[in-house]
Structure 1
Amino acid sequence: MKKLLLCLLFLLPFAGFAQSINDYQYVIVPAKFDFLKVADKYRLNTTSKLLLEKYGFKSFLSTDTLPAEATQNRCAILYASLSEDNSFFATKIKLVLKDCTEKVVFETDFGSSREKDFHVAYNQALREAFKSFDRINYKYNGKQYMGKSETKTADPVAVTGVAEVKSVASASVPVAEPLQVASSVALYAQPITNGFQLINTEPKVVYKIYTTSVKDFFIATKGELHGVFFAKGNSWFFEYYQDNQLISESVAVKF
Structure 2
Amino acid sequence: MKTPFLSIIVASFITLSAFSQISINNYKYVIVPEKFDFLKTQDEFQLNSLTKFLFNKYGFEAVMEGSEYPADLALNRCLALDADVLNESNLFKTKLKIELKDCNDKLVHETGLGESREKEYKKAYNFALREAFKKLEPLNYNYVPNESITSITTATQSPAKKEVTQEIAELKKEIQNLKKEKQAEVTAVEKPKVETPEVKVQEPKPVKQPEVKETSVIEGVSNVLYAQEIENGFQLVDSSPKVVYRIKKTNLNDVFLVEGSSAIIYKKGNDWVIEYYTGATLEQEALNIKF
Cα distance in 2 between the residues matched to 1:220 and 1:109:
33
* Structure holding more helix per residue: 2
Tell me the residue number matched to 1:154.
Answer: none
User: Is the alpha carbon distance of 1:91 and 1:28 closer, same or farther for their aligned partners in structure 2, counting shifts above 3 Å?
Assistant: same
User: Is the alpha carbon distance of 1:68 and 1:9 closer, same or farther for their aligned partners in structure 2, counting shifts above 3 Å?
Assistant: farther
2:43 to 40, 54, 62: 40
Q: CA deviation at 1:146?
A: 8.1
Say if 2:19 and 2:148, in contact at 8 Å, map to a contact too.
no
3-state SS of 1:96 partner: strand
Q: CA deviation at 1:77?
A: 1.3
Residue type matched to 2:263 in 1? K
Cα distance in 1 between the residues matched to 2:9 and 2:157:
18
Tell me the residue number matched to 1:218.
Answer: 252
| 1:67 maps onto 2:101 in alignment | no
| 1:254 maps onto 2:263 in alignment | yes
Correspondence list, 1:50-199, <5 A:
50-143=53-146, 150=151, 199=234
- Comparing both chains, which one has the higher relative contact order based on Cα–Cα distances under 8 Å and sequence gaps of 6 or more? 1
Work out the number of aligned pairs and report it.
181
Q: TM-score, normalised by structure 1?
A: 0.59
Structure 2 portions without partners, runs of 5+ = 162-216, 218-226, 228-232, 237-242, 265-291
Bigger Rg over Cα: 2
Residue type matched to 1:218 in 2? L
Cα distance in 1 between the residues matched to 2:247 and 2:82:
18
Cα distance in 2 between the residues matched to 1:103 and 1:31:
20
* Structure holding more strand per residue: 1
Q: CA deviation at 1:145?
A: 7.5
User: Is the alpha carbon distance of 1:146 and 1:101 closer, same or farther for their aligned partners in structure 2, counting shifts above 3 Å?
Assistant: closer
3-state SS of 1:44 partner: helix
| 1:31 maps onto 2:66 in alignment | no
Say if 1:207 and 1:220, in contact at 8 Å, map to a contact too.
no
Q: CA deviation at 1:218?
A: 2.6
Q: CA deviation at 1:58?
A: 1.2
Q: TM-score, normalised by structure 2?
A: 0.52
User: Is the alpha carbon distance of 1:67 and 1:36 closer, same or farther for their aligned partners in structure 2, counting shifts above 3 Å?
Assistant: same
Say if 1:94 and 1:107, in contact at 8 Å, map to a contact too.
yes
Say if 2:97 and 2:132, in contact at 8 Å, map to a contact too.
yes
3-state SS of 2:108 partner: strand
CA displacement 1:144-190 (0-9 Å, x = unmatched): 5887xx25xxxxxxxxxxxxxxxxxxxxxxx898689xxxxxxxxxx
Q: CA deviation at 1:132?
A: 1.1
Tell me the residue number matched to 1:233.
Answer: none
Q: CA deviation at 1:116?
A: 0.6
User: Is the alpha carbon distance of 1:59 and 1:177 closer, same or farther for their aligned partners in structure 2, counting shifts above 3 Å?
Assistant: closer
Cα distance in 1 between the residues matched to 2:147 and 2:59:
16
Percent sequence identity is: 37
CA displacement 1:123-157 (0-9 Å, x = unmatched): 0000000011111111111125887xx25xxxxxx
Q: CA RMSD in A?
A: 3.8
